[in-house]
């Protein structure tokens, strides 16, 4: 009986002595710095894919087709030397004028695009235009212009941004500040022409109800055309365009 009691006491003593050592060992393990788990580095191929995804153009709405591939002037003709393509943007060169036309003609359509002005910039969108003559008369021109610039303070109302040049003045006050992207839509269906800027209708015209002579005192026979080219009408200043797309109306 004595031997058993002695053995039990000895075992308890050993357990008590061993506990602090075990606790110290555990504390050391907890305090030891953990090895960092490294993530696999992205391969150059993966990084390139990510960049392409960031640069990807927004999807085109149903029924629309792109007029600009973001990389070249394929599908365009005319003053190609006066325009440049970079980073998905089609821009008229500063101090280089001239008209850039689509290679296809369009009759009734909805044209949508984004544009960004530089200070004092001036351009235009030709609709139902022929390849020759002054497009604002032989076809129709929708004004693209920084009409807030001091040099344009004496413009006539039919020359402000969005107007059908010489024919129909546009409502003002809906252009974004110079250097910001604007969204514009031009609907052309029979004699009906509507221009929407940043979600606001600024022109809603029936060409059949206009006077024979334009507001500028000149005839505009181009308003009677039923078909023609889409054009960018450069006036020696830089204007940037992107996401140009069109839907033909039947």
Other CB atoms within 10 A of residue 75 CB: 14
d(CA 213, CA 31) in angstroms, rounded, equals 90
Q: Which phi and psi (to 5°) does residue 235 adopt?
A: -130, 50
Classify residue 208 by its DSSP letter.
G
Would you say residue 34 lies in a domain?
Answer: no
Same domain, 15 and 95: no
Which residues span the domain enclosing 18?
A: 1-29
Would you say residue 35 lies in a domain?
Answer: no
CB 229 within 8 A of CB 76: no
- pTM of the complete model: 0.78
Would you say residue 38 lies in a domain?
Answer: no
Same domain, 103 and 20: no
Same domain, 108 and 24: no
Same domain, 17 and 137: no
Same domain, 156 and 220: yes
Q: How many domains are contained in the chain?
A: 2
Each residue's pLDDT, cut to its tens digit, for the chain (250 residues) gives 444 444 434 343 343 344 444 444 444 444 444 444 444 454 545 454 444 444 456 788 999 999 999 999 999 999 999 999 999 999 999 989 999 999 999 999 999 999 999 999 999 999 999 999 999 999 999 999 999 999 999 999 999 999 999 999 999 999 999 999 999 999 999 999 999 999 999 999 999 999 999 999 999 999 999 999 999 999 999 999 999 999 999 8
Same domain, 25 and 92: no
| CATH code for the domain of 195 | 2.60.120.560
Same domain, 122 and 2: no
Same domain, 15 and 67: no
């Amino acid at each position: 009986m004595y031997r058993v009691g002695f053995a039990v006491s000895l075992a308890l003593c050993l357990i008590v002595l061993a506990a602090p050592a075990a606790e110290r060992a555990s504390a050391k393990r907890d305090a030891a710095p953990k090895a960092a788990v490294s993530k696999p580095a992205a391969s150059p191929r993966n990084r390139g894919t990510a960049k392409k995804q960031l640069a990807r153009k927004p999807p085109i709405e149903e029924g629309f087709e792109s007029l600009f591939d973001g990389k070249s002037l394929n599908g365009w003709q005319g003053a190609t030397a006066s325009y440049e393509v970079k980073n998905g943007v089609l821009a008229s060169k500063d101090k280089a004028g001239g008209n850039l036309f689509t290679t296809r003609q369009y009759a009734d359509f909805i044209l949508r695009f984004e544009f960004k002005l530089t200070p004092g910039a001036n351009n235009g969108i030709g609709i139902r235009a022929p390849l020759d003559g002054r497009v604002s008369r032989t076809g129709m021109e929708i004004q693209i212009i920084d009409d807030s610039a001091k040099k344009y303070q004496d413009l006539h109302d039919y020359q402000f941004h969005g107007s059908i040049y010489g024919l129909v003045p546009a409502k003002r006050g809906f252009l974004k500040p110079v250097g910001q992207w604007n969204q514009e839509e031009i609907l052309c269906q029979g004699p009906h022409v509507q221009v929407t800027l940043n979600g606001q209708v600024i022109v809603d015209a029936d060409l059949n109800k206009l006077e024979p002579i334009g507001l500028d005192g000149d005839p505009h026979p181009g308003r009677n055309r039923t078909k023609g080219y889409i054009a960018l009408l450069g006036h020696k200043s830089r204007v940037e365009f992107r996401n140009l797309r069109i839907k033909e109306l039947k």
